[in-house]
Amino acid sequence: MTYDRLVCANCAAPVSQGRCPVCRANRERLQQESPFAGLNPMALIALLVMLVAALAVVAKAA
């Protein structure tokens, strides 16, 4: 899950903005869990499309 959609229960603001200490701590924790945690879903889809295109080029060349 990406943290850009999470809402803080402490200050009712998006966690990605980091307005309060609770937001900042959770944002740091979520970013450290996975190397792809900071990417939004559209960026992940774009990476997947590029990977499929690269595989298609390699398969055609072989």
Q: What share of the chain is helix, strand, coil (3-state, %, to 5)?
A: 65, 5, 30
**Measured between alpha carbons, how far is 19 from 11 in angstroms, rounded to an integer?**
8
**Residue 60's pLDDT band (cuts 50, 70, 90):** very high
* Confidence (pLDDT) at 38: 65
Q: What is the pLDDT of residues 12-58, one digit of tens each?
A: 888 778 888 888 888 788 777 766 666 778 888 999 999 999 999 99
pTM over 0.85: no
CA distances from 53 to 10, 34, 39, 41, 62 (A): 44, 25, 20, 18, 14
- pLDDT category, 1, cuts 50, 70, 90? very low
pLDDT of 50 reads 97
Distance CA(45)–CA(51), nearest Å, equals 10
Q: Which residue has the tokens 């450290």?
A: 32
